[in-house]
Amino acid sequence: MNLTHPFLDADGDKLREECGIFGVIGTPEAAAMTALGLHALQHRGQEAVGIVSWNGAEFFARRGLGHVAQVFSEGSFLSELPGEMASGHVRYSTTGGQGLRNVQPLYADLARGGFSVAHNGNISNAMHLKHELVNKGAIFQSSSDTEVIIHLIATSRYPTLMDRFIDALRMIEGAYSLICMTPKRMIACRDPLGIRPLVMGKIGDATVFASETVALDVVGATFVREIEPGEIVEVRADGRTTSQRPFGKPAPRPCIFEHVYFSRPDSVMGGQSVYEVRKAIGKELAKEAPVEADLVIPVPDSGVPAAIGYAQQSGIPFELGIIRSHYVGRTFIQPSDGARHADVKRKHNANRALVAGKRIVLIDDSIVRGTTSMKIVQMMRDAGAAEVHMRVASPPTQHSCYYGVDTPERHKLLAARMDVQEMTKFIVADSLAFVSIDGLYRAVGEASRNNAQPQHCDACFSGQYPTRLTDLAEREADADQLPLAVGLDA
């Protein structure tokens, strides 16, 4: 969600979904419901949160750095956000993107009225468009790619706001799920490939939109359906709902990593329980990469469902051989490498009495840089494990994501630099195996991956990006023109 190149957190060993969005129209408790919905989506963004509301006469906003419970801890915030329509956003920041100016939803007064937007995803031609807009006199208040959408709407020559909105969307590429508000309506939409998720629900006469179904559950809303790829849904204050698909119906490419890690396990995505899919991935992994062992141990918490599946398929007992403390802040906020390394041990501790003398299978959702895997393998050895075998519930992450996920530059991804044998030595495991990409597709209900037209966006594994990457291409072209003595980091 930032115009700079996305980087991972300083620890660098977990992919991070950058945003979660929520919106509701048609209830006097709109702001309170939005705060509750954002709390359910806290895993999608833990550094900043914002809510914008509309009371029939004007827009109100409150934004802050920190968790939802910190920023909206007092009941007084409800009086600051009146009205029957509200939308909100939780986010992770990327390099150059910290600070209140980038906290969403973004709001602007346009010629035809106020407009706010909450965005999950990443616009892959945002820098190109920003340069064009700035050259025409536009003044940007943030470094967020989301602000590009507002400027495109403001400068469109179409007569109605909805026509201007559609015109703006036609100019952008990449991934987006949006919840927008105008004085007359709430608008929810997904990009034509549906890369990022968005669902719709109902609670009484109110309509709710959210990144995941778990947010509907938490606020007491009933799931209605997913917003279709390329669909724009408008809901007016009186409840009238209309839908249009101005971009045709290209083959969808929803992000497959939502099933692997991003979504909460108690969500439903594409009609499938995320929890059950993760168990199915573990079963596929057990079929593809069996090993003689005494215990199956998850790397908490994201490895738990896949580890259950692996244990069920293999017949090897499942045990909690690593205990996670839930009262430790995120690793990347530590100021030094030494503090970050110590923080890994504060977050995870070996269950020594269980592990000692055992051959164990460690199950994790992914390996990014490999540093955390190496430390956890060593932790198991220090606890007396006889053998440590690592199994990963996703294919090797070999490519960066440009669709709203924090990933390092490609040369910092372990799987982009090493083959599996080299990675095994790097993390000092007795063996290492990843689920195959076909195994992953089988787990999500497909017979196999259609290599000519993949059913999901799996670019982080395959390198097959489903859209143009204009900003990346222009950066690479500029780098190619630099003198040989000048590196990319100069």
The helix (H) or strand (E) run that includes residue 387 is strand 387-392
Distance CA 265, CA 248 (A): 32
CA 483, 489, 490: angle at the middle one, nearest 5?
55
Distance CA 124, CA 467 (A): 8
C-alpha torsion 292→298→302→307, nearest 10: 40
Catalytic residue (one of 19, 255, 457, 460):
19
Nearest to 171 by CA among 198, 148, 196: 148
Nearest to 45 by CA among 64, 59, 23: 64
Question: What tokens does 323 get?
Answer: 């205990």
Kindly give the interhelix angle for 420-427 and 371-382, rounded to the nearest 10 degrees. 50
The helix (H) or strand (E) run that includes residue 110 is strand 106-110
Beta-carbon neighbour count of residue 99 at 10 Å?
12
Where on the phi/psi map is residue 420: left (φ > 0), alpha (ψ -120 to 50), or beta? Answer: alpha
Catalytic site includes residue 19: yes
Distance CA 186, CA 237 (A): 8
Judged by DSSP in three states, 407 sits in coil
Distance CA 326, CA 321 (A): 16
First-last CA distance in the chain? 24
How does DSSP assign 172-216, residue by residue? --EEEEEEEE-SSEEEEEE-TT--S--EEEEETTEEEEESSHHHH
Distance CA 366, CA 351 (A): 22
Please give the positions annotated as active site: 19
